Chain A
Amino acid sequence: METIQIILDALPTLLSGMGLTLEITIISLVLAMVIGLVLGVFSITKSKILRAISTVFVDMIRGTPLLVQILFIYFGIPSVFDVNLTAFAAGVIAITINAAAYLVEIFRAGINSIDKGQMEAGRSIGFSYWQTMRLIVLPQAVRRMIPAFVNQFIVSIKDTSLLSAIGIAELTFSGQSIYAANFRAFEILFAVGVLYFVIIYTLSLLSRWLERRLDVA
């Protein structure tokens, strides 16, 4: 009974942490999708410069640990440049660029998986490259990308726990601050785990539903 009481007492703090986790995740993933799409398309254009921009970005971000990126953005950059980032902003930036780097590859592979006859058919009708991309290639590609997107979304949700390192009171940090005071790490971390699971499992169900719905069309 005591266990339940401990968790119930912690719940308001944990739920507000969970809210912050969701907020950061949603903002970051929306931004990351935009960057990922743009750089993903860059990576398959004929322009060497655009391709280089995309490659350098992906290699740099994928080649370094997220924790280092978080610390670099929050502590490193302000120590040299005259910028003052809140922890929240630094966190969103770090999660965004990290997720974007992986999304670039998902977009690239997804677009490449569409038969090039589709682009040719669109162009032969008289559509421009971008019209064909938007109306014909991307709608088909995105459908195939959904499982990979969801995978990356799940990874990013969990990655936000690293933001506890710069003192953002997201779900993990909220848990830490509670058991630091009441020493009930088992109960609190168990509750933290359950809350992450709830978010992620909901997302999985949503994606399965979405895939089924798109499959019919």
Chain B
Amino acid sequence: MKMIEVKSLKKSFGKLEVLKDINIDVAPQEVVCVIGPSGSGKSTLLRCMNRLEEPTAGEIFIEEDNLTDTKTNINQLRQRMGMVFQQFNLFPHKTVMENITMGPQRLKGKSKTEVKELGSQLLEKVGLVDKAKVYPDNLSGGQKQRVAIARALAMEPSIMLFDEPTSALDPEMVGEVLQVMKDLAEDGMTMVIVTHEMGFAKEVADRVIFMDEGFIVEEGSPAELFDNPQHERTKSFLSKVL
């Protein structure tokens, strides 16, 4: 079974075509990192995967359910995919615990004690047990992003999508977030990660996809892509970032 299947995906904003014929399969427990220059369409691709952006053409299947079919209940399907944003997007009017428990409590009908228990477990996992009652404004960037990951995990998704999760962080906080993601990968979570962290991609990814100008230029194992890139564009991009 494929966890995610993207078929001939196209996306335009007005006249600007951002994604041009994208095809990707993601296998269970696979960790896929998407890299590429800014404006290459990698974030748009990720956002299409849970329909935060409406695809212009093509189809996307999530665990064999057609995401792009208008008959699909998008709200239910999204519960199976966690999303982590560059800007965290925590709910500032809710405590850390409430941020995490809101989804399972409202959408899965879990009791207060159940979600509290779940919340504590997740906070333990991301190393923030002592922050349960704190409001997001009082957290550092790295802490916010770890809460955001816990919030996404609270829905017990089978896939996690990360949209440049460390790009808005101060350098000294990048490590703590990547560590949580690494743990998650080791637990067997299926993950798609748009990132500029080449070291992380090298170490954790099963597969790396290089995108440029709306196309997938090249994909392969980290070893293949980083050490032996085939395309000129991949080489020139890697020479700038490595």
Query: Which A60-107 residues have a C-beta within 8 angstroms of B?
Result: none
Compute how far the CA of A44 lies from the CA of B92 in the bound complex, rounded to whole angstroms: 22
Closest to A139 in B: B93
Chain A proximity mask over B35-56: 1 for CB below 8 Å, otherwise 0: 0000000000000001010000
Number of interface residues of A (CB under 8 A): 19
Can you name 10 A-B pairs with beta carbons within 8 Å?
Answer: A117-B85, A120-B52, A120-B85, A121-B83, A125-B78, A125-B107, A126-B75, A126-B76, A126-B79, A135-B106
Compute how far the CA of A128 lies from the CA of B107 in the bound complex, rounded to whole angstroms: 10
B152 at the interface (CB under 8 A from A): yes
Residue pairs across A and B with CB atoms within 8 Å: the count is 59
Q: Which residues of B contact A (CB under 8 A)?
A: 50, 52, 75-76, 78-79, 81-83, 85, 87, 89-93, 102-103, 106-107, 148, 151-152, 155
Return chain A residues, CB-CB under 8 Å to B78: 123-126
A204 at the interface (CB under 8 A from B): no
CB <8 Å contact, B102 and A117: no
Q: A125-B79, A126-B107, A140-B91 provided; 19 other pairs, C-beta below 8 A?
A: A115-B87, A118-B91, A121-B83, A124-B78, A124-B83, A124-B85, A125-B78, A125-B102, A125-B151, A126-B76, A126-B79, A126-B155, A127-B75, A127-B103, A127-B107, A135-B102, A135-B106, A136-B91, A143-B93
Decide if the interface of chain B is mainly helix, strand, loop or mixed.
Answer: mixed
Residue from A126, A136, A143 whose CB has the most chain B CB atoms within 10 Å: A126
Return chain B residues, CB-CB under 8 Å to A124: 50, 52, 78, 81-83, 85, 152
A205 at the interface (CB under 8 A from B): no
A131 at the interface (CB under 8 A from B): yes
CB <8 Å contact, A126 and B85: no
A1 at the interface (CB under 8 A from B): no
CB <8 Å contact, B89 and A120: yes
A217 at the interface (CB under 8 A from B): yes
Closest to B84 in A: A124
CB <8 Å contact, A115 and B106: no
Compute how far the CA of A125 lies from the CA of B82 in the bound complex, rounded to whole angstroms: 7
Q: How far is the CB of B190 from chain A (nearest CB, A)?
A: 16
Compute how far the CA of A57 lies from the CA of B32 in the bound complex, rounded to whole angstroms: 51
Chain B proximity mask over A115-155: 1 for CB below 8 Å, otherwise 0: 10110111111111001000110011001000000000000
CB <8 Å contact, B93 and A217: yes
Compute how far the CA of A136 lies from the CA of B78 in the bound complex, rounded to whole angstroms: 17
Q: How far is the CB of A203 from chain B (nearest CB, A)?
A: 24
Interface pairs A-B: 4 shortest CB-CB: A126-B79, A121-B89, A124-B83, A117-B89
Q: Pick from B87, B92, B93, B152: contact of A125, CB below 8 A.
A: B152
Compute how far the CA of A139 lies from the CA of B103 in the bound complex, rounded to whole angstroms: 16
Compute how far the CA of A115 lies from the CA of B91 in the bound complex, rounded to whole angstroms: 11
CB <8 Å contact, A140 and B75: no
Return chain B residues, CB-CB under 8 Å to A143: 93
Q: How far is the CB of B123 from chain A (nearest CB, A)?
A: 17
Compute how far the CA of A144 lies from the CA of B75 in the bound complex, rounded to whole angstroms: 28
Q: Pick from B52, B82, B93, B152: contact of A140, CB below 8 A.
A: B93
